[in-house]
Amino acid sequence: MRALTFSRFGGPEVLEVLELPEREPGPGQVRIRVAAATVNPTDIGFRSGRQSAQLAGLEPPYIPGMDLAGVVDAVGPGSDWQPGDRVMAIVIPRRPEGGAMAESVVVPAASVARVPEGTSLDAAATLPMNGLTVRLALDLLALKPGETLAVTGAAGAVGGYAVELGVADGLRVIAVAAPTDEPLLKKLGAEAVVARGDSAAQGIRKLVPAGVDGLVDAALIGAPILPAIRDGGGLAAVRAFEGETERGITIHQVRVAEYAQNQAALDRLGQLVAQGKLTLRVAETFPVERAADAHKRLEAGGVRGRLVIVF
Ligand SMILES: NC(=O)c1ccc[n+]([C@@H]2O[C@H](COP(=O)([O-])OP(=O)(O)OC[C@H]3O[C@@H](n4cnc5c(N)ncnc54)[C@H](OP(=O)(O)O)[C@@H]3O)[C@@H](O)[C@H]2O)c1
């Protein structure tokens, strides 16, 4: 089977497609014939060596990729899936079998959910990792319906799901993004859009003078966004939070691996897609041989929707 790999850290040029042996699913596992897998910012960190500490003890070639969609083609003992099921899955690539960017991937059955009716496999691949990240972030913030949530990086993959899942949870959502993204964010359900930049926290305070109850920091702004949050509120950080908190604000560190086998949460995300409450956004698809172009495009910034590698 073909897999996207790298055997040394570096720029997009280190990516190469290799023919690797197919694996058999063990107990509680399923094997998926992959149709689509997404390129996420973490793949760039993985490939460049920024996350090399997490690969200690693993041998190259490494396979990046954290989510995929395809069709089940083999099941191990104790798994309820059937060959032919259309599924999406989250994959943790820091394991000997590697990540999602391969024609054939074996994952725990609990990392898999059915693709919603009427959803393409390309679109479904964009949901598991970032959808579960946001679900975990909101669960950690534990806001009540009617409370306020601010989202930085709101036009991105994590940010867009944070806006829509926040609205689905009954929250009032304020998006922080470029003014050109305002129509998109209004469509996703944001009550207001605050311009990104140095005065974003002040802009949020103008709308919510006491400060928002919680904030998902998908743009990695960190400490400078704390003034937007009320005393005793919460910030969900998707990368290590540097600096000190203030005024009793809790910093919740989000690690999606904690939800990698939360099948109920992944199923529920699929149901929200089917109900039209969650929007899947594909920016562009690339054959695996052109994965380096997809990495370059993501690194250049400004992508709206996810870049998807198709097999
Ligand atoms: N901890 C975890 O488990 C976990 C899981 C998933 C993702 N993540 C992390 O979450 C982050 C977001 O991922 P993503 O996939 O959503 O990335 P993305 O799709 O690239 O979105 C990031 C968004 O932030 C915008 N942005 C950049 N600087 C900003 C600023 N100062 N103010 C407001 N918006 C700003 C970007 O706009 P431009 O494109 O115009 O620059 C982009 O729309 C990444 O760092 C990723 O690694 C962590």
Expressed in percent and rounded to 5, the helix, strand and coil fractions of the chain are 30, 30, 40
Distance 10 CA to ligand 1 centre (A): 21
**Cβ of 222 less than 6 Å from ligand 1:** no
Distance 159 CA to ligand 1 centre (A): 7
Residues in the chain: 311
| Residue 54 pLDDT exceeds 90 | no
The token pair at 223 is 């400490």
Average pLDDT, the chain: 97
**Cβ of 133 less than 6 Å from ligand 1:** yes
Residue 274: pLDDT band (50, 70, 90) is very high
Distance 254 CA to ligand 1 centre (A): 14
pLDDT, one tens digit per residue, over 194-228 is 999 999 999 999 999 999 999 999 999 999 999 99
Quote the pLDDT of residue 55: 87
Please return the burial class of 296, using the count of CB atoms within 10 Å of its CB with bins 0-12, 13-18 and 19+: middle
**Cβ of 238 less than 6 Å from ligand 1:** yes
**Cβ of 221 less than 6 Å from ligand 1:** yes
Report which protein residue has its CA nearest ligand 1's atom 9: 238
Alpha carbon distance 132, 134 (integer Å): 5
Distance 160 CA to ligand 1 centre (A): 10
Quote the pLDDT of residue 51: 87
Distance 156 CA to ligand 1 centre (A): 6
Residues 50-79: what's their mean pLDDT? 94
Quote the pLDDT of residue 99: 98
Please return the burial class of 157, using the count of CB atoms within 10 Å of its CB with bins 0-12, 13-18 and 19+: buried
Residues 147-176: what's their mean pLDDT? 98
Quote the pLDDT of residue 12: 98
Q: What is the DSSP string of 172-238?
A: EEEEEE-GGGHHHHHHHT-SEEEE-STTHHHHHHHHSTT-EEEEEETT---GGGGGGEEEEEEEEES
List all residues 6 or more positions away from 224 whose beta carbon is below 8 Å from its beta carbon.
Answer: 198, 201
Quote the pLDDT of residue 294: 98
Minimal CA–CA distance to 179: which of 197, 202, 206, 205? Answer: 197
| Residue 287 pLDDT exceeds 90 | yes
Distance 155 CA to ligand 1 centre (A): 8
Minimal CA–CA distance to 6: which of 292, 308, 212? Answer: 292
Alpha carbon distance 217, 62 (integer Å): 29
Q: Torsion-angle region of residue 299: left (phi > 0), alpha (psi -120 to 50) or beta?
A: alpha
pLDDT, one tens digit per residue, over 84-126 is 999 999 999 999 999 999 999 999 999 999 999 999 999 999 9
Choose one of 39, 42, 282 to mutate for the ligand 1 pocket test, by most ligand atoms within 8 angstroms of C-beta: 42
Quote the pLDDT of residue 166: 98
Q: Torsion-angle region of residue 5: left (phi > 0), alpha (psi -120 to 50) or beta?
A: beta
Give the percent of the chain with pLDDT over 90. Answer: 97
Q: Which helix (H) or strand (E) holds 3?
A: strand 2-5
Quote the pLDDT of residue 178: 97
| Residue 181 Cα: closest atom of ligand 1 | 43
Quote the pLDDT of residue 58: 95
| Residue 253 Cα: closest atom of ligand 1 | 1
pLDDT, one tens digit per residue, over 2-27 is 999 999 999 999 999 999 999 999 99
Please return the burial class of 281, using the count of CB atoms within 10 Å of its CB with bins 0-12, 13-18 and 19+: middle
